[in-house]
Structure 1
Amino acid sequence: MAPPRTASEPSDSYNQERQDFLAKLQVFHEKRGTNFDPDPRVGSKHIDLYYLYRTVLDRGGYDRVSDEKLAWRKLGQDFNLGANNLPALAFALKTVYYKQLAAYEIATVHGKEPPPKEILEDTTAKGGSLLTRTLENFRPSTRRETGALGNENSEASGDDGTPVRDRNESEETPGSGGRVTRGLRQAPPQRVLFQPDTQSSRQSSRHASATSHPPSSQQQHHQQGPRGASTFYNPASNSENASATVANFEPRPQVPLTLRPVITPGNNPKGWSRIEQARKMADGSGGGGGSLTAGRLILPGSGFDGPNIYVRCLCALKSGIRAEQDYALHHLVKISMERGDKYRFESFPGLAEALIERLLEVGSLFYEVNWQVSYMEDGSMPNISTLNGLYGTKDILQRIARLPRLDVDDNIHTEEFSRTLELINEAALTMRNMVLLEENALYVSELYPLRDFLSIALNLPNLDCVVELKHHALDIAEQLTKYMSFDETDPLYISLLAQLQSSDRGAILTSLRAISRISMNLEENNLLTGVPVSAVQNIMDWLLLNDEDLVSACLDFLYQYTAVVHNVDFMITNLQVEPLINQLIRLLGYGARMIEAEQVLGHPYKKPAPDDIAPLPQELQAQLEKLDEPERSSHWLRCLFEEDRDESITQIAMWQAYQARFTPMALQTGRPLLPAAEFIKNVSSTFAEKASAQVQSGPVQKFIIKGIRRRSVPVDFRGEEFHKCLWKTYGSTPCGEFFMDPVKMQQHILRNHLGATQLENGQFRNTVGQYVCHWDGCRRFHDAPAQKLAQLDHHIKVHLPPPPTLAAKHQTEKPKPSYMVPAPKKYLQFQVTMTDDRNDAAGIPLSAVLVLRNLARNLSKTETEENASKQGDVSWVDRLFKPVEPRLFEVMSHNRSLLVYIVDLLSAIRDS
């Protein structure tokens, strides 16, 4: 983003972009009929409109910035508007964007039609919500008056559903402090008691000004001491400074006045008409004005905005006027969605009943009925269309079946039908949003007319136009059933079970959740009796589907259902339970992940030190012969020895081995070897951490090097181990030569052990013969020898070491001792299924094992099991669980998250 206007000049590309933007913005304002200022000022700063526009867009736009606390003040700081009176300057910056750029943002960025200038540019920039501002929902700020029904500026005010925050001083006033009530309240300014001038009044003002001096620091301290209501007036102490106080008096700084236009018929016809109408009604010239004047009542439109939006919607919904009810439902949908956590039925008595009355109007759309609610104590219901509001209508399903049905075409609806059904859907959606709050769900769970409506809605004709309403009814039932208890004859319970025969996945899923939650928050148990056989069979079949939500809902139902012995007896009597057991066993591994764990067997141990020094490879000796002393001896020591604080080697043996290896080279080249004494010192310096020259006491004293040991395999300068040739040529002893390069080892085997002839190009002649692999432990070609050398050559490659470059990648900075043999390891694989935050089993596998556990515990208690034991038949526990016991033990062994639950299941099977 280009920087704001500073002392440095912006780039040419930014200037060109800014000019193009201002040109488009000017054309936009000309079409809109608003004033355009390309270079506005805020305080003493010029504001770059292009930079301001891009800055606000980067933060989400005007509405997002206005909703964020103190966001415009932060922008004011970014634009270097100064710290003096920053709230007023920040509001002035907001006003610049509001009048110059807000409508352009709505049209170009959001692609919407901006509000008219009468409710945008011609009004103050206080507040936000420009994207949703319309002529219907926007009310300009007026004088605040409170009444008995509520406060317009309360948290619940405003048709737009957005609470407002009041301000003590208008941010429109440049000189005001702009303090908002969301901050801390400021203490009132302290007052200084008036001190009369005790000096002579004949002193001229010129003389007084000439002889007056600024007060001293002591006087300033005295004047700035404790003041206010707690200060006592002391003439003796204050009279001395009275003249200085008056002489140093400075008037308050001037504050520019806020000018507002006078409302006249010319500049504001609508405002003038409202004033005239209010004046006529106050004088008694309007209709019915005499009684209003006598009672001093303030009517809406004359300075009083009426009740807040909540009370307005409640009164409109209960008024019985169609237009008012449409207005109420339109706003209740928005309020219940945006403020569902604060909107409670307890705070608005009658709201729930009014919504239910609106919902019951759905019956008149499909049947010749007009449902009415009766709250008579005797429970009398004069006709079929009267519902019992106190105890519920037990025969509501029978009444629905007897109602004459209207002929409704699902393809073409009348305007009145569509509008009525839309308003009923809005009332259902409002109820659904509000019962998501637990307090509201508990409140309406005791309203029996709502239960009757749910039964009516779930039994409406199977038409496409009522699908939305049925889903809203199911969502409501899902939130309410946790506070309800049903018997098998309850109409709502029967209606929920009937949804299990539907082909609508959403209806099935929601009804299963609602049934599984019955009496969840009550002390009495949920027995789930009276479930049809077809419904249970459908639930068992749905376990085969690859639908996680549906399978989880089915398992929750089965867990509640199988917890009752009577239900288990019903299942094994009327259904085939063996497929259910197989599916539950399959679901134990749902979503399982295989994890490999490493298990160490035993402890690492140390190999014994070799008796002889390892032979030096030829390629390593060639590298050592190129070095000078003492570097040659240091590298030779590192290649054939390593540190070990528990081992030692005699000095003479080490020196003789070194001398025997390099004496021929020294005689040939004339470069002498390191003397014995220097060689021993070099050993201690090479292995400085652990090695040291010592004298071993005993019958015969020995000079040893303590802290080093011989390597069984030599290493090169980088610490990589050489690889030994294990080809057995003479007797049973392997060759024993060391190689680093696999190609050289291959050539060594072909040339020295197989007697192959190497050609001038480096390749070997493919001769014919009987070739057998003599690598230690290999039995290849022993039974059927290779007929050609090339066949054995291809096989030899499997015994060769990896290239040095590949082996070097696995080396650490400090190699581990080669004599330490790590403990053997065993790699175990086990399964992990879904777990919760406490690393406990969760999800479908947990639900499946709990259903199995319920079956294992309750099968032995059923009457069918007792009859089978009397007749000597195989018990149901063995019949169902014996075939799957191996799988259960497998899950117990490999699934750690289900271990505890599988053990409980196996214990229940054993006890049964």
Structure 2
Amino acid sequence: MQSRQVDPLEVRGTHTKPWEIWGYLCHHLNPARQSRSSTAHNASPSPGMNSLNSLSHPALNTTNTTLANYEPRQQYPLTLKPVTTPANNPEYYRLKRKQIEEANAPSFAKRFKGIMLPGTGFIGPNIYVRAQLALQSGLPDEERYALHHLVKISHERGDKYRFDQFPGLAESLVNKVLQVSGLFYNVDWTVDYTGTNPMIADNDCVDGLNGTPSILDKLHSNIALDMTDSVQNQRYYEELNRITEAGLVIRNMVMLDENAQYVARMPLVRDYASVVFSLKHPSLVELQHYALETIEQLCVYYSIDNQDVLYKALLSQIQGDDRGRIITALRATARLGMKFRENKRLDNVPSHILQNICQWLLVDDEELRSASLDFLYQYTSTADNVEVLLKIVNVPALVDQLSKLLLFDARKIPYNARRPEQEEEELPPAKVSRLSDSLVETLLKFDEPERSSRWLRMCFEDDPTAEMTQIDLWKSYQGTFLAYSATHPHLIAGDFIKNVSNTFNGASAQVAGQNKYVIRGIKPRKTPVDFDGRHLLRCLWHTNATASDPASSIFADADGNQCIQWFWNKQGLLQHILSQHLEIPRKKTEDNEFDFNAPSVTIPQRCSWSSCKHKIDLDESRRNIGWKLLARHIDTHLPERSSSSGGTKTKSKQTDLLEESGLHWLNTSVDETFKDPCGLPLGAVLCLRNIARALGRLPAEGEVVEKAIQVVPGAEEVFGHVKRRLFYTLGHNHVLRDYLGDVLRSLARSGAY
């Protein structure tokens, strides 16, 4: 009897679990798990057949379908968040700690939340306010800090650091410099700004509103400290150093005109200067110099009389032996009241000061001479002072020295440079010189394009950086030759522009910007030249302004009231003035001379050449003399033909003769901005003019003056020995000619010349 193999499924019966069945099938029915021997003897079941001992099982059907339809779940990337730590996020823990501190803060601290308390980041006021408050505190360390910064600020930012922007700063500085009195007297000044305080009469109180005229008397009424020893303790020099720094700050600040006007309205500054000038001690030299330079800037706003304590203090500084102090005091005294309309009179000047000034003019020191001339000019502005000067000093010797200073530092200029610099007017850019009819008629002798080439070389020059619009260039050419186009046809625009490039090698037609056609490489000459390169002569006669045609607007001064034509020589220019400007007709003779006796001709009242102010005061009964004088005067305006502007200069025979004879101009210094005389020559001629005018007035001031005239020299005695020198300067120095003319006319009225 054969034994039968028991199937585990049968043993388990109906209690068999599905997964147990699946495990059994995987072990016994999977071909991959069978051995080769079993595979050889037994055929594998079909893939789609679910059988177990030839019997169907419903659970196997369901499982196989699930496996066939199985799809793996889609995997998503993991989202990782960093862990917050003090290393990677310190701000988080800072805010959290702040929240905890605020939550644990007491109730009173919550009331001040948002208010910036001291020591919690408040930077405080800027350095300007800090320095001012530190100075006002009065503490030595704070003052030292404040003055250190104020000295630096006033030096570096003095052009913008203004007193009116910091109220109280100027008063604090003045109060500080007034403390210099406490170093030499037992006094501590109290400044009163009410004006009604009865304590002002006390010896330690000063008036801040109106000033204290008796401040020196109050100072000297206090007990003087023993300062005979020049060696003092540390406290003295520390306090003096702070006071000196305060004086330096005021000096630096008043160099700005706005600050000078502000401080000039403070009477305490005059009291401070009076006190400093009255103290005599070697340690105060620096402070006194600062005070003098401060008063020099303020004196132009002061109107003080000869009894003022400041006026007496300035005169006392002139009497010293310190050169710097003397020069500054002379300039300050001369500038008193300069901003006022009425002339300031310097009275009660000691005689030895006047004598010293006359001697200082002999010293070879330009700065000392200049300051002395400023003082002397202000002093001699009144006839009474000149009379006093005639009695005290040797006025003829003074006049002799002043006449020598007229040519101080004079420069030799060729004699043919007759015209002053004011008449050499430069043409603005893109303005072409307009030639006279005689010049145009000369150009008409040439055919085109030679005619336009010669005109271009006369009126234009090479300049690689310059450019001119083609329309302006064409208008200037057309405006010159259009009147003659009927008989002498000119080039068309295209041919003319091409001829410009042929005439000037560096010129080329270009397009610049939006439809702007230019000629680059040429520019109009300031002074046109002839065919040989010599400069032409321009007419500067003023005429009545007339409406000009649009074609001539490109020419220089075409819209003004001055003649704009250029001429070959002096003769052509003179004939142009007589015929065109003075409208003098010509005689109907072979010589074609001008008829000055024609009824329609009237003598002009004044010369109209440039800025000339010459007047002609002759009536019709003396017309012949009037025309001769006018012609002679006009001839002085007409310049000689100048030489070429190139490297080689051609000289005329007349120029050679003038150079051989030693004739030349001796022009002195001129202000570069206003082209006016300046320096020692101007101061000398102004003093001579004051003395000459005063000598002309003295005999007409009544009987008392007539008695005084008997003991003073007259005009002939004072100026007689310098007559030749004055006329020599008048003939060789056209910078001072107007001033010297006033001197000579005043002397002529007084009967000296």
State how far apart, in whole Å, the 2-side matches of 1:409 and 1:871 are.
Answer: 49
In the TM superposition, 1:291-690 aligns within 5 A as 294=112, 297-378=115-196, 380=198, 381-408=200-227, 411-461=230-280, 463-597=281-415
Match of 1:909 in 2: 747
Q: Give 1 or 2: higher helix fraction.
A: 2
Match of 1:700 in 2: none
1:377, 1:390 within 8 Å by CA — same for their partners in 2? yes
Secondary structure in 2 aligned to 1:408? coil
Match of 1:844 in 2: 680
Q: Give CA deviations for 1:296-323 in whole Å, capped at 9, x if unaligned.
A: 6423431110111111112111122222
1:425, 1:469 within 8 Å by CA — same for their partners in 2? yes
Report the alpha carbon displacement of residue 574 of structure 1 after superposing the two structures with TM: 2.9
State how far apart, in whole Å, the 2-side matches of 1:425 and 1:549 are.
Answer: 26
Match of 2:669 in 1: 834
Q: Which runs of 5+ in 2 are unaligned?
A: 1-73, 76-86, 419-645
1:833, 1:897 within 8 Å by CA — same for their partners in 2? yes
State how far apart, in whole Å, the 1-side matches of 2:162 and 2:678 are.
Answer: 34
State how far apart, in whole Å, the 2-side matches of 1:813 and 1:507 are.
Answer: 52
CA change 1:854–1:299 in 2 (3 A) is same
State how far apart, in whole Å, the 2-side matches of 1:298 and 1:454 are.
Answer: 46
1:555, 1:848 within 8 Å by CA — same for their partners in 2? yes
Match of 2:615 in 1: none
Q: Give CA deviations for 1:174-206 in whole Å, capped at 9, x if unaligned.
A: xxxxxxxxxxxxxxxxxxxxxxxxxxxxxxx99
Q: Letter of the 1:299 partner, please give it.
A: L
Report the alpha carbon displacement of residue 339 of structure 1 after superposing the two structures with TM: 1.2
Secondary structure in 1 aligned to 2:721? coil
- Which of 685, 688, 694 is the equivalent residue of 1:858? 694
Q: Letter of the 1:862 partner, please give it.
A: L
Secondary structure in 2 aligned to 1:419? helix
Q: Letter of the 1:909 partner, please give it.
A: L
CA change 1:354–1:885 in 2 (3 A) is same
Secondary structure in 2 aligned to 1:825? helix
State how far apart, in whole Å, the 2-side matches of 1:486 and 1:452 are.
Answer: 13
State the superposition RMSD in angstroms: 3.7
CA change 1:869–1:361 in 2 (3 A) is closer
Q: Letter of the 1:390 partner, please give it.
A: L
The structure having more radius of gyration, on CA atoms, is: 2
Secondary structure in 1 aligned to 2:152? helix
In the TM superposition, 1:869-884 aligns within 5 A as 869=706, 876-884=714-722
Report the alpha carbon displacement of residue 411 of structure 1 after superposing the two structures with TM: 3.8
2:696, 2:747 within 8 Å by CA — same for their partners in 1? no
Q: Give CA deviations for 1:595-643 in whole Å, capped at 9, x if unaligned.
A: 343599xxxxxxxxxxxxxxxxxxxxxxxxxxxxxxxxxxxxxxxxxxx
Q: Which runs of 5+ in 1 are unaligned?
A: 1-204, 207-257, 265-274, 601-811
State how far apart, in whole Å, the 2-side matches of 1:474 and 1:497 are.
Answer: 12
Report the alpha carbon displacement of residue 410 of structure 1 after superposing the two structures with TM: 5.3
State how far apart, in whole Å, the 2-side matches of 1:365 and 1:530 are.
Answer: 32
State how far apart, in whole Å, the 1-side matches of 2:412 and 2:324 are.
Answer: 33
- Which of 887, 890, 903 is the equivalent residue of 2:728? 890
Q: Letter of the 2:183 partner, please give it.
A: L
Percent sequence identity is 41
Match of 1:899 in 2: 737
State how far apart, in whole Å, the 1-side matches of 2:272 and 2:649 are.
Answer: 79
State how far apart, in whole Å, the 1-side matches of 2:254 and 2:246 are.
Answer: 12
Report the alpha carbon displacement of residue 823 of structure 1 after superposing the two structures with TM: 9.1
Secondary structure in 2 aligned to 1:352? helix
1:877, 1:909 within 8 Å by CA — same for their partners in 2? yes
TM-score between both structures, scaled by the size of structure 2: 0.52
Match of 1:137 in 2: none
Q: Give CA deviations for 1:868-891 in whole Å, capped at 9, x if unaligned.
A: 756995862122011211211121
Secondary structure in 2 aligned to 1:358? helix
Higher relative contact order (CA 8 A, sep 6+): 2
Secondary structure in 2 aligned to 1:301? coil
TM-score between both structures, scaled by the size of structure 1: 0.43
In the TM superposition, 1:269-288 aligns within 5 A as none
Match of 2:429 in 1: none
2:696, 2:749 within 8 Å by CA — same for their partners in 1? no
Secondary structure in 1 aligned to 2:658? strand
Match of 2:5 in 1: none
State how far apart, in whole Å, the 1-side matches of 2:173 and 2:400 are.
Answer: 48
Match of 1:120 in 2: none
Q: Letter of the 1:483 partner, please give it.
A: Y
Secondary structure in 1 aligned to 2:664? strand
Secondary structure in 2 aligned to 1:571? helix
Report the alpha carbon displacement of residue 530 of structure 1 after superposing the two structures with TM: 2.1
1:283, 1:293 within 8 Å by CA — same for their partners in 2? no
Q: Give CA deviations for 1:344-364 in whole Å, capped at 9, x if unaligned.
A: 111111111111111111111
Residue correspondences, number: 424
